[in-house]
Structure formats: structure tokens, C-alpha cells
């Protein structure tokens, strides 16, 4: 298969990139790969919304910039923060023109508040903002003739010089992908490749991310020697529902704390007053560490979130998903406290990119959560991720249009790229082994590379992960590739990078906390 542009990942970043490029350049053929169906992505589960300045009487670009810098402990790249914040309103307008609907109050957008924000500025659709955006973008993308979709295909490897005899251009030429149904490996060549593969929360046992969030883009980029930065900055969301529902950890949006919900320990104390003057709406790193400390003190696996004093009409109108999911777990949030614990939520680092989303490998862009733009620094401000995805997708799409007009590789060159070659079939027993290895990796990361780390815990994690790595390598060398095996390989690479980058980081900043440095 050949496309002008191959986009791997169909969340807000990949879809908005494809829509913008397809509309501005109708002759450009875009191929989109989705690991599950088109809807399933981290975006779908985003509850809060998009942080964007829209009420210029009560808010300003300067305040949003300052809040972002403050949440990151002044480690964000100020230039990037500045242009993302200022370009945000136009991107949200565009998204609305493409069909996304957000809650309104009178003629204005209804704005929510989240931790670390000095003003109400979260544009949202109830507590289903991501789902609303995802559905609108899918409908828009499907209406464009020059975008084709391959659902249920996972990324195996990026195609680089290494795959092509006598080639040294330092470029990316597309990717090998594997189909879920018949486990066939397909070669998709492309002038430009865009990674928008989202997060990697699945390296942890408790994560708000869906099961497909396994860092596939990061793993493939690492093998292609692309620069990856700041993977030690893993953001834990303070409030995920305890216990899991159907094996998944459900997010309790920060917006509910914005509406007045209060964290309580087992004694019923509203403990955040002891940790930060902003109390329950302090930035996430502070709230997560406070919960971690309360859980340790009480020797319990969770704390509580109390929403019982919030007007029932507000709960029903603004938080229907939270109401329903808590109900499924037997919790009536109108009367009961919600048991919550922090869970891996967002990776602030990723594939290092410039202001157009370009990586150091020519022809390869990265946008959305898998990228490292400099916006988040050591700690992402709540609801800045969808904003970043929209702004960088738009910039990358504009840049791609220029690139495609300027630099084209010939058809005969692409014909030289070999197909993937595989070996024998995998047995059922090996499939069980893959599941076990994935579970061990998650246990290692949660036990030793969580909210609070130490030199000793990181060393332990490295040693234990090495065993998983050796077993995975053996499986990889001796068996036909399957989607489960490629996924495990990516999880191992991401976990390894997280541990190595954590070991090198010399101070406590943002979400990175090493008790040896206290």
C-alpha cells in the first residue's frame, strides 16, 4: 500500500491533522491506522474538556500562560506555551465548525474549572467532552474522500533506512502494521508519516487509559532511534474510581472537584487543607502525592471523594457518566462518598518535536500525547492536552502540505522497500505467556516506578524488567509476530525508557518525586 501521508492513531491529534490536511490539499491521499475501531482512543475517555481562554473579561492569555508555567514548576517551554495558548481559541472554533458541540450558558460557552487554573476556562460537553469531539471528528473525516481508514491494525515498526538496502537518507518511509483479524503484516509506504498513537498508561496496573494505550508510537520511534524526552514525567490523576469496573480503572473527572467535591481521608477529614492553600484544586502532582501520603498513613488502598453536598441537578446535568459508572460499582454519589485512588493518566514527555511537530527523523511527525512539545514540562496543567493536540495537529498539517509540494520521493524508490518476513505460528501457550509478561510488567511499574520513587525502587524495577525483556525477546525471535507480541515489545521499551530517564533525573520537579532527594 502507498499513501502520501500515513497517520498512525485516530484520537483528536491524528483526526484533526487529517481533516485539516485533507481539506486544504484535496489531492493528498491520507491513510489512517487505528489499533481498535475509530472511536477507541484516549480522547474518547477525556471527561474534563479543552482549556482555552474564551471569556476575555474574566480571563486572559497571560493568566493561562502563567498557570501552565506554574503547574510545570517553570519547566515548560515559554515560547511553546505562548503560541499554544494564543492559537487555542481559533482551533476550538474550527473544531466547533467541524461539528463538535460544547455546553453553553445563554449565548456563551459554559466554562468549567480544574486544578491549577486561576479562572474558569474549560470548554466541555458534560463529562463526555472527548467522546463528543471524537464522534464529530470521525464524522468529518469520513466525509472527506481523500482519507482512508484501516481499523484494527497495530503499528509494528517504522520503515527507515535500516529496512532498505544501500539507503542512508535518515528518513522515515511509512510503517509495517499488523491486522488484528488475520495477523497479516502490511507494508504501508508514505512520503510522510505521522505518529498520533496517544499514551502508554498501560505500563501501569492502575491507569485511566484504555487497554490500547500501550505506547506503540514511542516503542517504534525508540527502535528507529528517534529522540524521546521526559518519559520520567508520568502524571497520575488523583481521582480514579476504586475498584476497577470490568477490569478498567474509571476516571472521576477533576471537574467534579471544580464543582465543589472534596477529598476526605478515612477519618472523614478534608485533608487537602493541610497540603496546599488551593486545597482540592491544587495541581495534580500535589493532590496525588497528598492522597498517596494519606493512603500510607491509614494503610488503606484508597481515600474518598465527597460530592454529597453538590446540587443533585448539577450532578445529573454535568456529570452523567460519573453518576452512571459509580452506580454500576454500587455507589450512589448523591449519598455516598466515592472511593478513589491516583492512577497513571498522562505522559508529559514523548517524541521530541519542533514547533511544527517534526521529529529528528526526516519525514516523521509526532502529535498529541506521544509527542514532547515542551508545553507540559514536568507537569501538565489539566485539560491542556486536547488543546496541545489541536494546535500541533494544525501546525503539522500546514507544514506537511508545504513539504509534500517540495520534497517527493519517487515511486521506484518505494518499490525497493521489502515486505515484512515472518516465521512459524505462535502456540496458545505462548499467548498465555504474553499476557503474564504484560501483567508482570504492570506490577513492576506500579510497585517501583509510581508516584514516589527511590534509587532502590528504580534499581529493583530495572532488574525485574530485564527478565521480562529477555522473555519477550525470546518470544519475538522464535515466533510469528502477533498484535499482542508487538504490543508487549512496545510496553517493555516504554517501561525501560521511563526507568532509565527516571534514574538520570537529578531533582524533584512537577510529577517526578524521588524520596532520596528529600
CB of 131 to ligand SIN, least distance (A): 12
Residue 58's alpha-carbon distances to 288, 356, 464, in angstroms, are 29, 31, 51
Q: Is 47 in the site for ligand SIN (CB under 6 A)?
A: yes
Helix (H, G, I), strand (E, B) or coil at 24: helix
Candidate list 91, 284, 395, 489, residue with the active-site label: 284
Return the number of the residue (129 or 400) whose C-beta is nearest ligand SIN: 129
Q: Is 136 near ligand SIN (CB under 6 A)?
A: no
H-state helical runs in 353-417 = 384-406, 411-415
Range in contact with ligand SIN (rule: CB under 6 A) among 143-151, 193-201, 382-390, 481-489: 382-390
Q: Are 252 and 322 in contact (CB under 8 A)?
A: yes
Query: Using CB atoms within 10 A of its CB, is residue 422 exposed (0-12), middle (13-18) or buried (19+)?
Result: middle
Question: From CA 396, how far away is CA 89, in angstroms rounded?
Answer: 18
Does a cis peptide bond (omega within 30 degrees of 0) precede residue 244? no
DSSP string, 291-354: HHHHHHHHT-S-EEEE-TTS-HHHHHHH-HHHHHHHHHTT--TTTSPEEEEEEEEEES-EEE--
- Pick between residue 160 and residue 253 the one whose CB is nearest to ligand SIN: 253
> Site for ligand SIN (CB under 6 A): how many residues?
10
CB count, 10 Å around CB of 458? 21
Cβ distance to ligand SIN smaller for residue 215 or 342: 342
Q: Where is 483: in which H helix or E strand?
A: helix 483-504
- Placement of cell 527507515 in the chain: 160
CA-CA distance, 144 to 18, in Å (whole number)? 9
Least Å distance, CB 35 to ligand SIN, is: 21
CB of 196 closer than 8 Å to CB of 14: yes
Residue 97 has, within 13 A of its CA and on its CB side, a CA count of: 9
The separation between CA 90 and the C-alpha centre of its own chain, rounded to angstroms, equals: 23
| Residue from 305, 378, 382, 389 in contact with ligand SIN (CB under 6 A) | 382
Coil, helix or strand at residue 481:
coil
Output the smallest distance, CB 253 to ligand SIN, in A. 3
The whole-angstrom separation of Cα 489 and Cα 152 is 18
The candidate with the shortest Cα–Cα distance to 6, out of 121, 157, 134, 224, is: 157
Give the binding range for ligand SIN (CB under 6 A) out of 43-51, 60-68, 319-327, 328-336. 43-51
Closest residue to ligand SIN using C-beta atoms: 48
Site string for ligand SIN, 324-363 (x = CB under 6 A): ----------------------x-----------------
Q: Which is nearer to ligand SIN, 180 or 278 (CB)?
A: 278
CA dihedral 23, 25, 29, 34 (to 10 degrees): -40
160 lies in the site for ligand SIN, by CB under 6 A: no
Q: Which stretch binds ligand SIN (CB under 6 A): 314-322, 380-388, 403-411, 438-446?
A: 380-388
Burial category of 148 from C-beta neighbours within 10 Å (exposed 0-12, middle 13-18, buried 19 and up): exposed
Please identify which residue in 9, 14, 48, 88 interacts with ligand SIN, judged by CB under 6 A. 48
Would you give the binding string for ligand SIN spanning residues 228-257, x where CB under 6 A is met? -------------------------xxx--
E strand or H helix that includes residue 239 = strand 234-241
State in angstroms the smallest separation of the CB of 52 from ligand SIN: 12
| Cβ–Cβ under 8 Å, residues 333 and 326 | yes
Nearer to ligand SIN, 254 or 462 (CB): 254
Distances 447 to 121, 188, 203, 245, 302 between C-alpha atoms, Å: 36, 39, 12, 21, 15
The stretch among 34-42, 300-308, 310-318, 381-389 that binds ligand SIN (CB under 6 A) is 381-389
- Minimum distance of ligand SIN from residue 349's CB (angstroms): 16
CB of 292 to ligand SIN, least distance (A): 18
CB of 96 to ligand SIN, least distance (A): 19
Residue 289 bears catalytic tag: no
Closest to ligand SIN by CB, 115 or 483? 115
In the list 42, 193, 383, 486, the residue contacting ligand SIN (rule: CB under 6 A) is 383
Segment interacting with ligand SIN (CB under 6 A) among 42-50, 195-203, 322-330, 467-475 = 42-50
Between 157 and 285, name the residue whose CB sits nearer to ligand SIN.
285
CB 283 → ligand SIN: shortest distance, Å?
11
Question: From the list 385, 442, 446, 514, which residue makes contact with ligand SIN (rule: CB under 6 A)?
Answer: 385
Nearest-angstrom CA–CA distance, 396 and 24:
13
Binding span for ligand SIN by CB under 6 A among 9-17, 377-385, 439-447, 449-457:
377-385
Q: Which is nearer to ligand SIN, 272 or 481 (CB)?
A: 272
Q: Are strands 303-306 and 122-123 parallel, antiparallel or unpaired?
A: unpaired
- Cβ proximity of 238 and 217 under 8 Å: no
Residue 254 or 318 with smaller CB distance to ligand SIN: 254
- Nearest approach, Cβ of residue 50 and ligand SIN (Å): 9
Residue 224 CB, nearest approach to ligand SIN (Å) = 29
Based on CB atoms, which residue is closest to ligand SIN, 129 or 154? Answer: 129
Which residues sit at the interface with ligand SIN, rule CB under 6 A? 46-48, 253-255, 346, 382-383, 385
Q: What residues are annotated to the active site?
A: 284
Amino acid at each position: 500500500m502507498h499513501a502520501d501521508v500515513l497517520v498512525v492513531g485516530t484520537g483528536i491529534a491524528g483526526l484533526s491533522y487529517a481533516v485539516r490536511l485533507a481539506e486544504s490539499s484535496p489531492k493528498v491521499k491520507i491513510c489512517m491506522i487505528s489499533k481498535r475501531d475509530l472511536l477507541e482512543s484516549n480522547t474518547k475517555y477525556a471527561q474534563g474538556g479543552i482549556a482555552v481562554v474564551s471569556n476575555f473579561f474574566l480571563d486572559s492569555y497571560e493568566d493561562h500562560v502563567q498557570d501552565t508555567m506554574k503547574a510545570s514548576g517553570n519547566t515548560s517551554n515559554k515560547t511553546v506555551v505562548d503560541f499554544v495558548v494564543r492559537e487555542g481559541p481559533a482551533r476550538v472554533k474550527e473544531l466547533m465548525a467541524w461539528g463538535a458541540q460544547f455546553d453553553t450558558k445563554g449565548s456563551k460557552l459554559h466554562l468549567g474549572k480544574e486544578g491549577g487554573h486561576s479562572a474558569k476556562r474549560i470548554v466541555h460537553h458534560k463529562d463526555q467532552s472527548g467522546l463528543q469531539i471524537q464522534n464529530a471528528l470521525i464524522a468529518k473525516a469520513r466525509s472527506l474522500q481523500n482519507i482512508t481508514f484501516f481499523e484494527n491494525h497495530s503499528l509494528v515498526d517504522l520503515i527507515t533506512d535500516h529496512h532498505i538496502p544501500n539507503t542512508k537518507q535518515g528518513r522515515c518511509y511509512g510503517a509495517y502494521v499488523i491486522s488484528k483479524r488475520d495477523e497479516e503484516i502490511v507494508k504501508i509506504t508514505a512520503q510522510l508519516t505521522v505518529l498520533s498513537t496517544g499514551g502508554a498508561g498501560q505500563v501501569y496496573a492502575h491507569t485511566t487509559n484504555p487497554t490500547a494505550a500501550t505506547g506503540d508510537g514511542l516503542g517504534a520511534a525508540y527502535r528507529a532511534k528517534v529522540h524521546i524526552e521526559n518519559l520520567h514525567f508520568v502524571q497520575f490523576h488523583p481521582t480514579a474510581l476504586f475498584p476497577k469496573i470490568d477490569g478498567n480503572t474509571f476516571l472521576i473527572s477533576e471537574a467534579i472537584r471544580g464543582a465543589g467535591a472534596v477529598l476526605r481521608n478515612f477519618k472523614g477529614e478534608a485533608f487537602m487543607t493541610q497540603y496546599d492553600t488551593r486545597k482540592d484544586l491544587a495541581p495534580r502532582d500535589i493532590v496525588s502525592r497528598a492522597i498517596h501520603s494519606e493512603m500510607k498513613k491509614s494503610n488503606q488502598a484508597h481515600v474518598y471523594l465527597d460530592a454529597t453536598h453538590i446540587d443533585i441537578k448539577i450532578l445529573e446535568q454535568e456529570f452523567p457518566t460519573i453518576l452512571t459508572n459509580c452506580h454500576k460499582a454500587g455507589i450512589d454519589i448523591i449519598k455516598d462518598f466515592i472511593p478513589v485512588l491516583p492512577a497513571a493518566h498522562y505522559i508529559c514527555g514523548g517524541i521530541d518535536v519542533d514547533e511544527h511537530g517534526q521529529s529528528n527523523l526526516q519525514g516523521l511527525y509526532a502529535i498529541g500525547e506521544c509527542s514532547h512539545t515542551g508545553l507540559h514540562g514536568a507537569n501538565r496543567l489539566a485539560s491542556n492536552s486536547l488543546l496541545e493536540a489541536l494546535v500541533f495537529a494544525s501546525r503539522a498539517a500546514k507544514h506537511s502540505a508545504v513539504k509534500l509540494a517540495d520534497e517527493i520521493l519517487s515511486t521506484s524508490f518505494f518499490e525497493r522497500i521489502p515486505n515484512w518476513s515472518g516465521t512459524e505460528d505462535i502456540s496458545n501457550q505462548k499467548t498465555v505467556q504474553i499476557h503474564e509478561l504484560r501483567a508482570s510488567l504492570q506490577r513492576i511499574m506500579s510497585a517501583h516506578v509510581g508516584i514516589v520513587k527511590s534509587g532502590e525502587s528504580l534499581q529493583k524495577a530495572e532488574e525485574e524488567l530485564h527478565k521480562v525483556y529477555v522473555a519477550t525477546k525470546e518470544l519475538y525471535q522464535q515466533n510469528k509476530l502477533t498484535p499482542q507480541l508487538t504490543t508487549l515489545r512496545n510496553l517493555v521499551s516504554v517501561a525501560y525508557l521511563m526507568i532509565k530517564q527516571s534514574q538520570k533525573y537529578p531533582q524533584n520537579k512537577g510529577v517526578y518525586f524521588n524520596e532520596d532527594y528529600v
